[in-house]
Structure 1
Amino acid sequence: MRVRRFVGDNVAETMGKVKRELGSEAVILQTREIREGGFLGLFGKLKVEITAAIEETPVKEQISVPKEGSLREDVKRPQDRQVSVVKDSSEALQEEMKAMRLLLEKMNKQMEGDGEEKSDWPPVLQRWADHLLDRGISENLVRRILSHVQQTLSPHEWVDNSLVYARIEANVRQICGQIGLIQPGIDKPRIVALIGPTGVGKTTTIGKLAAGFSIVDKRKVAMITVDTYRVAAVEQLKTFGEIIGVPVEVAMTPSGLSDALQLHADKELIFIDTAGRSPHHDLHMSELRAFLDKAKPDFTMLVMSASTQFADQARIYQRFEDLTTHLIFTKLDETDSAGSILNLLGQTTLPTAYLTNGQNVPDDIEAATPYRLARYIIGEEIPHA
């Protein structure tokens, strides 16, 4: 059996080296992450090491056959020896295949984040890794964040909880750095449309924004709803409007939306509430595009719930991405794993505008800042050892 060690930047690259060198029949013996370069194991680059083996073609054994009539009991006939070799090879192959299946299962669990084994962090940093993973942050980002801690703090500083928390928070703030808030129009109204799937709180968020700008900032505001699929949504927005003294229009068609916008051309801000759209439904998305094409909003804000799983958040974002200029995250009070937000922000350059953390209008909304995002994402408390 020929055993070789292969190193690459990731599993896919390293497996490619294995296949090119040893072929598809190679048996994976071990897979682990290593750190190459650096000083005393620090500052090195993370690599994937795979140890693999291939069964080489055995050399035929030369068998000395005694003269006829003098065959000893301790010398096996060639056919007997061949049966024995085949049997031993079969058992060894079965053991190797079993070991390979167990290894692949372990690798899959690690890649999915469900495995019991943790990254090879020093114990003092492992609890931080566990904490960040529990908050919903992906393994790749956890590795990036804690690698930054390792590189910028000396080992004796790792035991300082406040110092490590501050360094993690600073790194998270950097990832969340893109922020963009609504500015009222001067010569003409600034048009703000909220889009997104059903159930994320678009109507309530529009009520909060309209109340804040009209009551607190004393701006001239109007609201328009094109969500005629849900009578309750129309009534909810009208109720908000009556309470805060803001006019509300209902537009059934894109041309009706154009008329409603003309009616309030004297306003500084116009908020448009759209119907919740399934990102998988092409007709719904086409209808939404038709309204947005007519409105030509200055801001088109994709509203997503922080309590939605990251895989679903990613699908929603991909479907609405080409329509979106800003992000709003809602229901931050309903989850303890808001790290999915960081996973998304790590993949986009779109700015975050607002965060909501309750149902109260207009109180439970705040302007997004890197600091507030970081606090929601990693939590306010330091994990216990």
Structure 2
Amino acid sequence: MRVKKFEGATMRDAIAKVKAELGDQAVIISTRQVRRGLLGSAIEIAAAIDGDAGEAPNLSGPTTGGPQPRPSEPDLEKLIAPLRNELRSLRALVRTPGESRGTSELRAELAALRSLVESLQRPAAAPPPPAPRRAASPHESPRARTTELPYDALTAASTGAAVMLVGPTGAGKTTTIAKLAARAALIDGRRVGLVTLDNYRVGGVDQIRTFADLIGVPVEVAETPAALADLLDPANELTLIDTAGRSPRDTAAIAELAAHTAGLDLEVHLVIPAASTAAQVDELVGRYRALAPARLLFTKVDECDTAPELAQAPGRTGLPITWVTTGQAVPEDIEQPTPARLLELASGALTASTRSHRAA
């Protein structure tokens, strides 16, 4: 197994060096920002590759459609091949002394990956029959009488070319924008542009500019919602729009934003901390309804022991979930969950060892 460190002025440059020398099968072990000189900085990536790693197809992300046909044995082996490579990489890391990551954490990851390989090799189980619906009691509150979404409709993939994140102060919109931009630009190779309306918060523009410089994507600042339309570049494959974090009770600001985005083709995601209660989620959905949100986006799942609203809010509000964030690392700590993964996260699937590693 080969382990090597690479540096670049931006994350894009560093990843390009990894691919150029180690190829697409390289495993990124860690990333960090390092100081160069008094004011300069660079991105350092530690990457590894197994000596006998071969060509393997890219694994596609989770789908949101109906049941998919089980792949043939040759196709299944191709899907499992990269997982086997990662298993070998993790075994080597466990045996390597002096690593910064704890051996117990690596062994936990190794066991989880082995279980995933075994589950892919087992025949697919038939989905359980839907549970019969209980007749609503006339004494139940309106919240108790909710319309449940079908299991597959708990999540939905993003289809918009322009995605706008809205939500209360401190929900994590700007960091989530950075994660989405890094994945789209650096991993998917898409042309990405950022637009920020967050000139209300002190340091808001500087924060997103820093992320944009590290990722290597352009950013535009809209001084007012009225200027947003002129800053949407149709040449971008994806435009991500960050909005100001204000109190959801600031109805005038929400109404102003709604008035200037009504004619634009935007996919609006309502960003909500995962620790929010059902009453808080319902209040946020109601206050931001003027912006016509199409999706829910839950953040800070790593800060909760359980997050039941991940499973309950889509059925109650009629809004599916596209992404959830599970930590502060950019771009790693964001997921596009399947319905099954969503239920796992809702019940507290992030283990204590995972939380301690991400906090380190």
TM (norm. structure 2) is: 0.54
Q: Answer whether contact 1:173 1:374 (CA < 8 A) is retained.
A: no
Counterpart secondary structure, 1:301: strand
Match of 2:220 in 1: 249
Letter in 2 for 1:221: V
Q: Answer whether contact 2:136 2:145 (CA < 8 A) is retained.
A: no
- Correspondence 1:172-187 to 2 at 5 A: 174-175=150-151, 177-183=153-159
Deviation for aligned residue 1:273: 0.4
Q: Answer whether contact 1:175 1:346 (CA < 8 A) is retained.
A: no
1:275 aligns with 2:251: no
- Correspondence 1:54-133 to 2 at 5 A: none
CA distance in 1 between counterparts of 2:208 and 2:164 reads 14
| Structure 1 spans left out of the alignment, 5+ residues | 1-42, 49-106, 113-137, 145-171, 185-189
Q: Answer whether contact 2:310 2:345 (CA < 8 A) is retained.
A: no
Match of 1:374 in 2: 343
Match of 2:165 in 1: 194
Greater fraction of residues in helix: 1
Q: Answer whether contact 2:164 2:241 (CA < 8 A) is retained.
A: yes
Q: Answer whether contact 2:301 2:324 (CA < 8 A) is retained.
A: yes
1:354 aligns with 2:326: no
Instruction: Decide which of 281, 289, 298 is 1:313's aligned counterpart.
Output: 281
**Structure 1 vs Structure 2 CA RMSD:** 3.1
1:332 aligns with 2:311: no
CA distance in 2 between counterparts of 1:319 and 1:44 reads 30
Give aligned-pair identity as a percent: 39
CA distance in 2 between counterparts of 1:291 and 1:272 reads 14
Match of 1:300 in 2: 268
Letter in 2 for 1:198: T
Deviation for aligned residue 1:176: 6.5
CA distance in 1 between counterparts of 2:145 and 2:304 reads 21
Q: Answer whether contact 2:164 2:267 (CA < 8 A) is retained.
A: yes
- Correspondence 1:208-223 to 2 at 5 A: 208-223=179-194
Change beyond 3 A, Cα 1:321–1:283: closer
Change beyond 3 A, Cα 1:320–1:176: farther
Q: Answer whether contact 2:197 2:224 (CA < 8 A) is retained.
A: yes
Deviation for aligned residue 1:140: 8.0
CA distance in 2 between counterparts of 1:303 and 1:176 reads 21
Change beyond 3 A, Cα 1:347–1:175: farther
How many residues end up aligned between the 2 structures? 217
Q: Answer whether contact 2:201 2:245 (CA < 8 A) is retained.
A: no
Counterpart secondary structure, 2:228: helix
Deviation for aligned residue 1:284: 1.7
Rg larger in structure: 1
CA distance in 1 between counterparts of 2:212 and 2:163 reads 16
CA distance in 1 between counterparts of 2:234 and 2:225 reads 17
Match of 2:84 in 1: none
CA distance in 2 between counterparts of 1:242 and 1:44 reads 52
Deviation for aligned residue 1:298: 3.0
Change beyond 3 A, Cα 1:335–1:258: same
| Structure 2 spans left out of the alignment, 5+ residues | 1-131, 351-360
CA distance in 2 between counterparts of 1:260 and 1:269 reads 13
Q: Answer whether contact 2:310 2:343 (CA < 8 A) is retained.
A: no
Change beyond 3 A, Cα 1:311–1:47: closer
Match of 1:364 in 2: 333
Deviation for aligned residue 1:173: 9.4
